[in-house]
Amino acid sequence: MADMRLVALRGANTVTENTAEAILSATDALMREILSRNGLGADDLVSCIFTLTPDLDAQFPAVAAREMGLSSVPLLCAREIPVPGALPQVIRVLIHGYKPDGTTPEHVYLGDAAKLRLDLQGAQ
């Protein structure tokens, strides 16, 4: 791992309804996009922390990660702070993993979650 460095990657996606299917689909799309853009596989990941806004409780996002083959990666789900006026129906993830040294981490914000990081618009 001498030529690798530990990075933290952020991402978010939105859903249109509080159903297990919507949460799993949005999480799967988000995770696949983050891993693809960053050239990461399951062996490169240290951990993933998922959060959901308070209006989402139909399923754990970690289920989608396990279903896509990340069952050996420690996964945690938590609740976002219910800040008044915050964007609703958002799934967020913080991934810790190893990338080749000298490469730039790419954070991914999909759907309406792109509004959360307007500074990254050019990178989307």
* Mean per-residue pLDDT, 64-68: 97
Domain ranges of the chain: 4-114
Is residue 1 over pLDDT 90?
Answer: no
* Mean per-residue pLDDT, 71-96: 97
Domain 4-114: CATH class, spelled out: alpha beta
Interval 14-46: pLDDT, tens: 999 999 999 999 999 999 999 999 999 999 999
Q: Which residues are annotated as a binding site for prephenate?
A: 10, 92, 109
Q: Which residues are annotated as a binding site?
A: 10, 92, 109
Catalytic residues, which ones?
10, 66, 77, 80, 92, 109, 117
- SS3 assignment for 98-110: EEECCCCCCCEEC
* CA–CA separation, 107 and 50 (whole Å): 14
- pLDDT interval class at 117 (50, 70, 90): confident
Average pLDDT along the chain: 93
